[in-house]
């Protein structure tokens, strides 16, 4: 039993739990109001977090099913392949059906209680796009620029927007600015992961967006996306603090450019290595690219946790100040 749970966790990408929590925190911070009772807030948080995580698991499991044969040829996916073989394809399809039904019931109930049909619409769009990303005939992950666009929408835009509308039905322009900043940031920090996998993906003919445009352009794109995303997010928080007459908290927003600068230094290092490899094809440079880009989980943590901390401060200020 324990082995099956562990295998399902691997297939469902349990590591996405923390980023999903970040999506909830950002949506909650921007959408919650001081008039919401603690009890109501707790229920809304539990429901929205359950829906976001179940939807994330469904997308990850569908991707594993779709890529099963391809993953078997990739030595980097050994753990995932073993988990899939241990759990079983038929069993996973049963779990997927149960999860989908349960999530649909939760979303429908949530929509009815909150009287916001947009919650159901956002979920339908998100789950459909998540399926289209992995499954044929659409399989957007193999369609050049459609891959990053769909990833941005599925990993950042729809989860945060869903969390936001769980708590309000008003549209805040500063929230839209921060959401745009987050969306740019998310793909900006995903690119180094694709750079890490570039050589392996290219060797087995997996054409990710990074494989399509090459290492030099991809590393520059990461720099541009993270720079623009961090700037938009910081300005959005600053404007919201000013609008809410809490400008004294604005100094905390400095943590965002500091975190971004820390990560951008590593991105620039990747760009320099990518340019060197493009001109020399040196094996040692290739190994350095893989080594440096393998640190990306730490960079993702630095950026996302900084955004989350500022969000928590903003949320707390609504109830305490």
Question: pLDDT tens for residues 267-301?
Answer: 999 999 999 999 999 899 999 999 999 888 899 88
Place of tokens 């044929």: 136
Q: Report residue 209 CA to chain centroid gap.
A: 17
Of 72 and 236, more confident: 236
Q: What is the pLDDT of residue 160?
A: 92
Question: pLDDT tens for residues 133-183?
Answer: 888 887 777 777 778 888 888 888 899 999 999 988 888 999 999 999 999
Q: For 115-157, where are the alpha helices, taking DSSP H only?
A: 117-134, 146-152
Of 36-40, 114-118, 227-231, 238-242, where does the model show the most confidence? Answer: 227-231
Q: Per-residue pLDDT averaged across 104-126, rounded? A: 93
CA pair distance 12, 53, nearest whole angstrom: 10
Q: What is the pTM (predicted TM-score) of this model?
A: 0.87
Domains of the chain, earliest start first: 1-169 (no CATH), 172-321 (1.20.120)
CA pair distance 251, 234, nearest whole angstrom: 11
Closest C-alpha to 152, from 117, 191, 196: 191
Q: What is the pLDDT of residue 18?
A: 72
Q: Which two tokens stand for residue 3?
A: 């082995």
Alpha carbon distances (Å) from 237 to 83, 157, 229: 41, 17, 12
pLDDT of 230 higher than 90:
yes
Say which residues have a Cβ less than 8 Å from residue 11's Cβ, sequence separation at least 6. 60, 61, 64, 80, 83, 84, 87, 92
Q: What is the pLDDT of residue 177?
A: 96
* Dihedral over Cα of 180, 57, 85, 131: its sign: negative
Q: For 214-295, where are the alpha helices, taking DSSP H only?
A: 215-243, 255-280, 283-293
Listing DSSP states for 78-99 in one string gives HHHHHHHHHH-HHHHHHHHHHH
Q: Which two tokens stand for residue 268?
A: 């620039």
Q: How crowded is residue 8: how many other Cβ atoms within 10 Å of its Cβ?
A: 18
Closest C-alpha to 230, from 259, 251, 252: 259
Closest C-alpha to 11, from 103, 82, 90, 72: 82
Q: What is the pLDDT of residue 260?
A: 96
Average predicted confidence (pLDDT) for the chain: 88
Alpha carbon distances (Å) from 267 to 143, 150, 191, 295: 25, 23, 10, 11
Helix (H, G, I), strand (E, B) or coil at 145: coil
pLDDT of 8 higher than 80:
yes
CA atoms within 13 A on the CB side of 32: 28
- The radius of gyration of the chain from alpha carbons, rounded to an integer in Å, stands at 20
The percentage of residues in the chain with a pLDDT greater than 90, rounded to a whole number, is: 45
CA pair distance 151, 59, nearest whole angstrom: 11
**Confidence band (pLDDT; 50, 70, 90) for 86?**
confident
Q: Per-residue pLDDT averaged across 74-92, rounded? A: 82
Residue pair 13/53 in contact by the 8 Å Cβ criterion: no
Residue pair 61/92 in contact by the 8 Å Cβ criterion: yes
pLDDT of 265 higher than 90:
yes
């Amino acid at each position: 039993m324990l082995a099956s749970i562990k295998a399902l966790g691997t297939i469902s990408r349990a590591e996405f739990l923390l980023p999903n929590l970040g999506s909830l925190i950002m949506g909650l911070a921007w959408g919650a109001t001081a008039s919401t009772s603690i009890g109501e807030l707790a229920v809304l948080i539990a429901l929205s977090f359950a829906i976001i995580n179940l939807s994330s698991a469904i997308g990850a499991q569908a991707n594993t099913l779709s890529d099963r044969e391809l993953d078997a040829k990739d030595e980097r996916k050994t753990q995932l392949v073993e988990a899939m073989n241990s759990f079983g394809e038929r069993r996973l399809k049963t779990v997927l059906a149960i999860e989908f039904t349960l999530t649909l019931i939760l979303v429908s109930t949530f929509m009815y209680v909150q009287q916001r049909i947009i919650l159901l619409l956002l979920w339908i769009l998100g789950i459909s796009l998540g399926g289209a990303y992995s499954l044929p005939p659409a399989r957007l992950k193999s369609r050049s620029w459609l891959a990053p666009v769909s990833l941005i929408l599925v990993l950042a835009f729809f989860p945060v927007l869903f969390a936001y509308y769980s708590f309000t039905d008003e549209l805040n322009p500063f929230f839209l600015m921060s959401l745009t900043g987050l969306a740019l940031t998310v793909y900006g920090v995903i690119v180094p992961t694709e750079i890490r996998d570039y050589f392996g993906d290219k060797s087995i003919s997996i054409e990710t967006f990074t494989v399509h445009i090459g290492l030099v352009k991809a590393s520059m794109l990461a720099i541009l996306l993270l720079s623009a995303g961090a700037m938009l997010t910081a300005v959005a928080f600053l404007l919201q603090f000013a609008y809410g007459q809490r400008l004294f908290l604005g100094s905390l927003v400095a943590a965002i450019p500091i975190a971004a600068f820390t990560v951008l230094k590593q991105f620039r290092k990747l760009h320099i290595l990518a340019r060197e490899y493009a001109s020399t094809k040196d094996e040692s440079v290739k190994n350095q690219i893989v080594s440096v880009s393998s640190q990306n989980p730490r960079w993702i943590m630095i950026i996302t946790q900084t955004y989350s901390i500022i969000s928590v401060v903003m949320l707390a200020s609504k109830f305490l100040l």
